[in-house]
Amino acid sequence: MRNTRIGFIGGGNMAASLIGGLVADNWSTDQIYVAEPDEGCRESLSSRFSIHTSHDNHSVVMASDILVLAVKPQVMRDVTTNLAEAVLRKRPLVVSIAAGVRMVDLSHWLGDYLSLVRCMPNTPAQVGSGATALYADPSVDNAGRDMAETVMRAVGLALWVDNESQIDAVTALSGSGPAYFFYVMEAMEQAGIELGLSRETARLLTLQTAFGASKMALESSDSPRELRKKVTSPGGTTESALTVLKEGQFKKLFAQTLNAACERSKKLATKLGQYTDE
C-alpha cells in the first residue's frame, strides 16, 4: 500500500492535516500529489512536506490511485463534473471528505462512477486527534476500504457506518461535536471568572479538566455514566452541581441539539444535490 499514489483535489486545512498525518506515518512524500489553484497555498504545502503540487486537477487525477476530494461542498459539483472524464479514464478510488455531499450526487457528477467512499471527519483532525466515519459504495472491495481507512486513520479514529444515512447522525455527533465542547468550555471559563478566578487561571483549569476527563474516558473500561458516578459523592459539591444540570434538562437539551444538527445536515445534502436530476 505504501506504493499507492494519493492525490488531493484542494489543498486547504483538512487536506494539509491528512498530508501531515500520512507523512508522519512514514508515507513517501514522492507518492503524494495536490492540485490547488492558490499559488501561495501550493508553495506552502511544497515547502512543508516536499510533495508534488500543481494547479491542474486533471494531472493529479491521472497520477493518483486514491483521489481525495477536499474542496468545499458548494463547489463540488463544478469540480467533479470537470474531472469526470479523467476519473473514468484513470479509475482511482475516490474519497470525499466534503460535508453534505451524497454519494448518489457525487456518482452522477462523475459520470455514474461508483468506486466511492464518503467520509465525515471533524476539525480535531488538524491536530491528529480527529474522528472520522466512512461509508463505501458496495462496489468498493476490501482493499479499497483498507486504503480509505488508512488515509483517514492518519489523523485519528476512523470507523465505518452501515449505511450512508447514518452520516447525518455522525455529522450531528462528531462532525459538529467539537463546537459543543468548546461552548461548554467557554461557559465553564466564564463561570470561573465570575467566581473570582483570573481569566488565565479559569482558562487553564477549564482546558486541563476537559483534557483530563477525555483522557480518563478514553483509557477507562468504565462508561461515562460510571465515571460520573465515581466522582459524585452523595451530598458533595459535584452532586449539587449536577442537580442543577438535571433540573435544567441537560440531556434533553443535548438530544434536541443533535437532532437539530442532523435535520440540518439532511436539508443541506438535499440542497447541494438539487441538480442531480438535471
Model pLDDT, residue 61: 97
C-alpha cell of residue 120: 465525515
Superfamily for the 6-163 domain:
NAD(P)-binding Rossmann-like Domain (3.40.50.720)
Residue 277, pLDDT above cutoff 50: no
pLDDT surpasses 80 at 2: no
The answer to whether the CB of 127 falls within 8 A of the CB of 154 is: no
Look up residue 151 and give its amino acid.
V
Q: Do domains 6-163 and 177-266 have the same CATH topology?
A: no
What pLDDT, on the 0 to 100 scale, is given for residue 3? 81
Domain spanning 177-266: which CATH class is it, in words? Answer: mainly alpha
pTM tops 0.95: no
pLDDT digits (tens, 9 = 90+) for 116-142: 999 999 999 989 999 999 999 999 999
**Domain regions of the chain by residue span:** 6-163, 177-266
Q: If you count them, how many residues does the chain have?
A: 278
Q: What's the rounded mean pLDDT across residues 15-32?
A: 93
Instruction: Specify the residue for cell string 479523467.
Output: 86
As a whole number, mean pLDDT of residues 229-242 equals 96
90 neighbors 61 (Cβ within 8 angstroms): yes
For 190-200, what is the mean pLDDT? Answer: 98
pLDDT in tens, 40-98: 999 999 999 999 999 999 999 999 999 999 999 999 999 999 999 999 999 999 999 99
214 grid coordinates: 477525555
Helix%, strand%, coil% for the chain, nearest 5: 60, 15, 30
